[in-house]
């Protein structure tokens, strides 16, 4: 992945996490990233799969999850939703994943998200988001809690 592509994906993830509720919005977030990338002629499909988190040598947890893939690299802006739910292991979840997945997290792709499961976002919204992240190095996202997340805009209502 080129540095400019990686910077773009990081900025998309940061923007989405900062602006929109991520709790229970994995499919919406993956659809949004897919459509943002389509606007700039990048093929970044939204996929359905499993995220497996190894907690220690004897124990792991698996979660059904939606995320994006670009040239074999994972783009995941909604993985932190599990940190909001599973507070005892929240430190194991990154705020987002772009290309470099922690070695204790495994992704499995089951299938591409079907068109009937995607939400179609307004063209103006997509253009506005792209304008807001264009050539900006957005600040790092700090860990947050469920209460802070609930105060953000909900993608379902856009």
Who wins on pLDDT, 1 or 76? Answer: 76
pTM score of the predicted model: 0.90
CA-to-CA separations, 149 to 17, 18, 142, 153, in angstroms, rounded: 9, 9, 12, 9
Confidence of residue 4 (pLDDT cuts 50, 70, 90): confident
Separation between Cα atoms, residue 47 and residue 90, nearest integer Å: 24
> Residue 31 is encoded by which pair of tokens?
């659809």
pLDDT band at 120 (very low <50, low <70, confident <90, very high): confident
- Local confidence band at 19 (pLDDT 50, 70, 90 cut-offs): very high
Q: In this predicted structure, what is the pLDDT of residue 57?
A: 81
Q: Where are the domains of the chain?
A: 3-157
């Amino acid at each position: 992945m080129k540095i400019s592509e990686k910077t773009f994906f990081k900025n998309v993830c940061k923007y989405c996490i900062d602006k929109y509720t991520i709790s229970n919005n994995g499919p919406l977030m993956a659809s949004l990233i897919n459509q943002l990338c389509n606007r700039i002629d990048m093929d970044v499909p939204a996929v359905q799969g499993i995220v497996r988190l190894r907690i220690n040598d004897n124990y792991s947890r698996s979660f059904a999850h939606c995320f994006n893939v670009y040239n074999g690299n994972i783009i995941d802006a909604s993985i932190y939703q599990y940190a909001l739910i599973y507070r005892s292991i929240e430190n194991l979840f990154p705020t987002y994943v772009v290309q470099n997945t922690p070695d204790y997290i495994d992704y499995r792709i089951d299938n591409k998200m079907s068109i009937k499961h995607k939400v179609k976002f307004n063209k103006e919204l997509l253009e506005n988001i792209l304008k807001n992240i264009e050539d900006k190095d957005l600040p790092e996202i700090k860990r947050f809690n469920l209460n802070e997340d609930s105060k953000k805009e909900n993608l379902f209502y856009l």
